[in-house]
Every structure is written in C-alpha cells, then in structure tokens.
Amino acid sequence: MRGIKQVMILFVLCMSLNRVHAQYELATLKGRNFNNITLEVSLKPFKKNDKAYIREVAKEMFVQWHSLLRHTDTVSVMLWTGDGSEILDYKGVPNQPLEWAQYMGNPNTKHAVNSGPKELSIHERAYLYLPEPPKFTYDDLKFIVQTLKEEGKKVTGKPILIGETFDPGPEFAKSDFKYKKHPEILGGSAMGHNTMVSCYSVLNADSEAYAGFPKGIPANTPFGTFLGRQSKHFLADMGFNFLWLSNGFGYGVEGWSSTGAIFNGKGFDQAKLNATKDKIAGFWKYFRAECPDIQIQTRGTNLSTGADLARDGVDLKSIYKDKNLLPPPNSPWAALDGDFGLEMVGYMSRMAELPDERYLFRYYTHDPWWLNSPWLDRYGREPHDIYLPMAVSRINKKGEVRLPTHLNFLSIDDSYGNMPTQVPDEVTPHILKGRYDSPTAPGPLVWVYPFDEYHEWAYKYKDRLPEIYYGDWLIRQAINNGMPLNTVVSTGSFQNVIKNNPASFKESVLVTIVPDADSELEKALISFVQNGGKLLVYGPAGHAGKAFLDMLNLQNTAALEGEFNMKSTYPGDKMSVAYPAKIVHSALFSGGGIATNVKDQKDAGTRILAQMTQAGQSRDAAWVRQKPDWKGGKVAYVRGTNSSKFTGGKLLTPDDPSKLFTGPLLMRYILQEFGMNFAIEKEDPSIKNPVLTVSRSNNAFIFSGYNPNSTIRNTFKLPQGAPLLLGLETKLDKGHSAYTLPTSWNRESRIFIEQNDGIVSYKELHSGELGIAKRYRVSGLKNATVRIYADDKVTAKDFHAYLNANYPWKEGKITFKEGDPKLGKHFVVENITGSLVVSW
C-alpha cells in the first residue's frame, strides 16, 4: 500500500507540474496572439465562375494558413478586386459587369492588353493572366464575399471579416473612370505624370447615374464626398466590413517620392503648408461625412512622419483623430531595394503615437500583378524582413511594451492566380518565431520620437521644415549603417512614463532631437541625465535653451556647409581601404549648416570625438560629456550630416561611401561611449553595411540582422560583455564576440562573457531533469566572467551553475551571485575556465 501511495503522490505531482506547464504555455501564446490576421488576395484564384469551384478555392485559402490563423482572434480577407474603380463605377445594379484585376502589368497604358512590341516591360503594357479569364458581375462578387465568410468560419472557427481596396494609381485593373471620364482627379506622378488620384481633387460634372449619385455627379464635387458615398453603398451591398486605402491615398499626393507639394528637391515652400494640410483634412472630412462607420485601413506612404509632413504636408496627427482608422504599416519596399532603414524609420515614426493601441505588421509574400513572388525571389526565402520589423516595439504612455495587433500578408496568390503551399509552409515558422521572440521590454536603444514637436514646429516656425525633413533621413541612414534602433516612444509618452517610473529606461540609451528652449521635454531630458540616464542627442541646436546647451557644453557659431575634412577619434570599421576623410554637409538636406562647437574646451568631463574642418574653420561634429554629480548619467551629441541628396529619383540618394564619409556612421560609433560596440569588418567602403536589431524578450537579448554582403564579419560588445549567439561558436577578438553571418539571421543571447580571446561555444542542452525548463553549455572559457540572463521569472533559488560537469548533474555545482541591477536582472559567475553549464 505504501508503494502504491508513493506512486499516486508522484503521479499527482507530475500532473500538477504538467498543468502548470500547460497553463504557462497557453498564457504565453494568448499574450502574444494577434487580434487579426489578414490574407490579402486578388480574384485570380477563382479561375472559373462556378459556385462549387469558388467554394473549394475559398476553403483552400484558410486551410493553407491554418497553423498561423490559430494564433489570432479574428481572420480577415482583403480582396484586391480591381483598382478601386469598381467602387467608383458602381451603379447599384447586381448584374452590372465587374471590371476586375485580371491582368499582369499595367492595363492603363496606350498599348492594348496582350499587344505592343515584345520589348515593352510589364509597366508599359499588360497581359491577361489567363487566355480566357472568367467574367464576373457585382452579384458574383457578393457571392464570393459571402462564401469567404462561410468557408473561413468552417475552417478556423473564428469571425471572418472581408475588406475591399481602393488604389489611386493605374495598376491592377482598367479604369475608364480615372483616365478617360475624370482625368481632372489625377495629380500624383509616382507612375508617370498625373497618374495617381489626388485625395483632395474635385470632380467635373457627370450626367451618368451612380449608386450614390443616381442623378449624376454635380460639378465641383469633392472626390472625398464621391468616394465616401459610393463606398457606403458598395461596401454594404457587397457585404464588405472594411476599406483599405492603398499606396499613400489619403496621405498627400506623392506616396512614394522624397518630394511633394511642399518640397521640390531644391527648397521648401512653407507658404503651401497650411493649405495642403487643410486639403488633406478636407478629404477625410468629406469622406467621413458620407461613410462614417466603416473601418478604414491604410497603406500610407513609403516614407516617415517627419519627411511626409515637411515634403507633402501630411499631418499625421490630424489624420489620427479618426479613431476608426488603422494606421499605416511598414512599407514593403525593403523587399525591392533593401532600404531597411527607411522601412524601420517609417514604421517606428508612425507608431510613436496612434489613434488607439492597434497597429499593423505587413509582410510581402507574393505580388498578384507584377510577376514576382518576394518570398521566393526578391527575398530568396530569407526572412530578414520578418525578423527586423518584428523586433520593433513601441512604448505607450503607461510604459507598456506594445506589439502589432494586426498581421497582413500581401498576398497569398501570385500573378498567375496560383497559391503555392510552399510559401505559407515556409513563411509561417519564421512569423511565429518572430512573435515568440517579440519584445517584452525596451531595447538597448530607445528612439524618443518628436511626434508632437514636428507637428508643432511645422506651423509655428518659418524655418524648421528642413530640420523636420532631415531628422528621419539621418536615422534612416544610421540604421542602414548598423545602428540597432528598434524601440520607439513618443516624446509625450516618454515624459509621462519617466514621471511615473523614473527607472523605466535604466538599461537603455535614449536617442532624441535637441528639445526647444524651456520646453517640458527639455526639463525631462535634463532630469533623466542628471539622475543617471544615458542620452544620445542628434540634430541642430539653434532653438535650444540655455539649460540644455549648458548640459551639452554646446555653443552655436556661424553655420557652414559644403565639403569638409572629417577627423574622428574612432578607428572605424576594419577594412583594407579606410573610409574617405572628406564629407559633404548640405544645409538643405541636413537641417541647416553645421554651427556646433564645444563651449568650454577645458571642461574635464567633455571629450570631442569628431570634428569637421573647412578652410581653417572647424566645427565639432560629435562629443560626449559626463559629470560626477550626474549619478552615472552621460550625454553624447552628434550634430549629424545626412550624407544623401535628391538626384531626381523617388528617394534621397546616399553619397558614395568610396568617395565621401557617411556622416550617420557616427551614430553607431558613438555608442561605444555607452559601452556598446557594433563593429564591422569588410573589404572596402563600397560594400553595404549590415542592418541590425537588438531587442529584449523575456530577459533575453534577441539579435537579428540583414547582411547584404555575406563576407562581412560582425563583432559585438555590450556593457555586459561579449554577447554569445545561441547555437554558434565565436573566435573572440579583443573581448568582442565575432561572427560571419548569412544574409538573414536571428539568434537569442542569454550569455555575456568577459574574456579577451579564444574560441567559445554556446549551445542549448536538453533538460533531462524534472523541474528544469532550460539548460545551456558554454565551452572554451578562460578565467572568464560570465553573466547569465535567465527568464524573467527565474529567482536565485531556481538557478543552477555547474563547472566542467555532465549529466546527471550530481557534481560540479558552483556558487554564483546576482549581478549589478544597472545591467538588468542577471546572475554572475567569475574566474571560469573550461565548460560552464547553467540551468533553471
């Protein structure tokens, strides 16, 4: 009996442990579930207008993505029915023929579909995607919408929402409305002169009957009014639940360009700003007056909050007053040009403030129109555009880390209407890993984004548009050159957070602009530094107050621009050919001329790190300052040179790094003053630098990267020591961990070591012991100090360390201590030689 009782006790104990483990897993999944996952798709997969066939295709859409859809509360399908002209043309008649996106290429050119010289590109003409595509009516579309809802519910058991799309351009479907009947609504030139519908255009009179205008369109009808009323009828009649505004529509005229209504590449026309803002606001007012209740989802532009405001009058703060609007996601253009800096800056700057807590991550899997499938060809099945943007998080005004609530896939079908299962099968594991690894705390760097300041400065001052424009471009280049910036908080939220919890950013370096004189932000930043905080300031200081200038030990002198010689105390990246010493500072693209100098050259706490000289005159480009009474606080300043210019293309073109020094490199170099060294070894300056993110997840450090050239060697060192990347070996380089990594990579690090050289391995082991969830081995240690970052909830009584020991872990147990809280929650063991195993 006694034996049976012991077995029963053991059984109950095991069941209890299993229940706790299961509850923990469920809680973890639930905490990181998406609110909504959207499958974007054209009508091309419905290759036959047959009800049974349509139902089978609809079912397959959800089956393919089911392993991901189980991690969401709601499933949506966004239909790329046409180009949005199906809304404009709608007459309210069920059997009205539907013009839909049955093409590959641009069907709105002078060349007829399936015709033209063979050498024409698909941007110059279009082909039908099938020899004989099916014909659809609006009634058929209504059936497709209803079928998707029914089949999606059967497969997933979740609520199904269906969205419609409106695009301002010539892509996707033929549009007589835009290009023949009402060309007066065209304004933008992203795909040729006057090819994009302007949201604030007005319509000429039209006697034709439409669903919302049965007696025709009166002259001077705002386009927002027409689209709003037509949308209300069309969406309700077809059964749609939301409307997606594509390719910058509703956000100015030029969604893809670095120029716009205010900035022409040569200067900023401040006089147009208020009128342009009012025009954009007018579109939203007119649209919402006609269509007040439908949820609007938006693509936004390819740029950032500050750049959009300064170049095209896009007042995001005003647009965000619409509480039934889902803000723009990350741009998919990184797939096209590898410009991850621009993608990340746009994403973070637009999420710094939000209408509510919802925001979206969008991933580019297929393109239904332009004969490419980014996962398979543009990305080459490399998940860098998953792990990098999924390392991004925002801090809200309560100090909470917030993740994207929505996930979209553009799209689940390719240009031929096929839905290859390979893509969801390969993409889903990376998406889930990115979500499991998602941030739970601020990263080592936190961008304090001047969302409110930019919107105030644009209208309050007559000379600050260049500064607003420049700031985001500088950060774009800094990220593209290896600065690991992936956490954002707005200046307003920062002040609220730091007031209620002064220790919120104790493990982070804050990165922000120079605040205005006597502003609340100025006071908050000064207090942050004086109470032990780490701060990196960038940009011009022409509007700074005396208190902030004194803290920086900065004085403004005469502004200079043009070509300079750059001199830096930093050795820079390791190359066979060094970066050039010449740098060009353009006032137009760098927020004015460079006017900054250290005021008190004899100050013991100030060290000048970079200078720019021109014709015997010098300006201090970067320095660092620390005072004994700041409780360990430190401030670094980088004036910043954009090192890019407008050359007539869509985006600003970076200076040739083989000929001119890249100014934003100083943003990465100066991190060494805070104990963070992210060095690069490459052949020469022409090789593009890697993009890096470092996020914090459940007390681990998650390193992710994109190496445009896989011969690059990355070396890392943080205040905690050299980070070890899980599953890899490193040959230490003067106390830095060094790795040659592939194009795309994502690795966890919970172990940091202080050791000068040697080959060190960091691997995960199996548990093999009841009550142990994680076990790791670090080999190759020589008199090392090792810092271990266990899971958040692990206490000292749960933690174990073994020296030169093996299973079953009965010998070799050693003592440890809790580490300095300034470096976060961790455990430390010292003077370790050989192999260390840690578990909890």
pLDDT tens, 77-125? 999 999 999 999 999 999 999 999 999 999 999 999 999 788 999 999 9
- Whole-angstrom Cα distance, residue 205 to residue 202? 10
Task: Please report, as a single letter, which amino acid is at residue 140.
Answer: D
What is the pLDDT, as a whole number, of residue 32? 87
Q: What tokens appear for 218 in the block? A: 């009166």
Widest Cα–Cα separation across the chain:
97
In tens, the pLDDT along 817-833 reads 999 999 999 999 999 99
What is the pLDDT, as a whole number, of residue 30? 58
Residue 188 confidence (pLDDT) above 80: no
| Range 32-436 classified under CATH 3.10.450 | no
pLDDT confidence band for 17 (50 / 70 / 90)? very low
Burial of 601 (0-12, 13-18, 19+ CB in 10 A): exposed
Which phi and psi (to 5°) does residue 834 adopt?
A: 105, -130
Residue 624 confidence (pLDDT) above 50: yes
Place of tokens 């007040």: 292
Q: Where are the beta strands (DSSP E) in 216-359?
A: 221-222, 242-245, 295-298, 325-326
Looking at 287-296, 466-475, 642-651, 799-808, which range is the least confident one?
Answer: 642-651
**What is the pTM for the complete model shown?**
0.95
What is the pLDDT, as a whole number, of residue 19? 39
- Whole-angstrom Cα distance, residue 454 to residue 483? 23
What is the pLDDT, as a whole number, of residue 386? 97
- Other C-beta atoms closer than 10 Å to the C-beta of 667 total 25
Q: The domain 445-691 belongs to what CATH superfamily?
A: Class I glutamine amidotransferase (GATase) domain (3.40.50.880)
Contacts for 662 with CB less than 8 Å, ≥ 6 apart:
477, 481, 579, 643, 654, 655
- Compute the 3-state secondary structure of the chain and give helix, strand, coil in percent, each to the nearest 5: 30, 30, 45
What is the pLDDT, as a whole number, of residue 18? 43
Which residues are registered as beta bridge partners of 362? 408
pLDDT confidence band for 649 (50 / 70 / 90)? confident
Averaged over 644-673, what is the pLDDT?
Answer: 95
pLDDT confidence band for 193 (50 / 70 / 90)? low
Residue 39 confidence (pLDDT) above 80: yes
In tens, the pLDDT along 737-768 reads 999 999 999 999 999 999 999 999 999 999 99
Tell me the pLDDT of the chain averaged across its residues.
Answer: 94
What is the pLDDT, as a whole number, of residue 139? 98
Averaged over 264-292, what is the pLDDT?
Answer: 96
Q: What percentage of the chain exceeds 90 in pLDDT?
A: 92
Task: Please report, as a single letter, which amino acid is at residue 699.
Answer: N
Look at the chain and count its residues: 840
Averaged over 204-224, what is the pLDDT?
Answer: 97
Burial of 335 (0-12, 13-18, 19+ CB in 10 A): buried
Averaged over 786-790, what is the pLDDT?
Answer: 98
Contact 314, 451 (CB under 8 A): no
DSSP letter string, 350-381: HHSS-SSS--EEEEE--BTTTTB-TTTTTSTT
Q: What is the CA radius of gyration of the chain?
A: 29
Residue of 300, 275, 327, 365 lying closest to 39 (CA atoms): 365
In tens, the pLDDT along 693-715 reads 999 999 999 999 999 999 999 99
What is the pLDDT, as a whole number, of residue 255? 84
Task: Please report, as a single letter, which amino acid is at residue 94.
Answer: P
Averaged over 656-667, what is the pLDDT?
Answer: 98
- Whole-angstrom Cα distance, residue 404 to residue 427? 18
What is the pLDDT, as a whole number, of residue 191? 52
What is the pLDDT, as a whole number, of residue 14? 42
The CA-atom distances, in angstroms, between 271 and each of 267, 568, 771 are 12, 40, 68
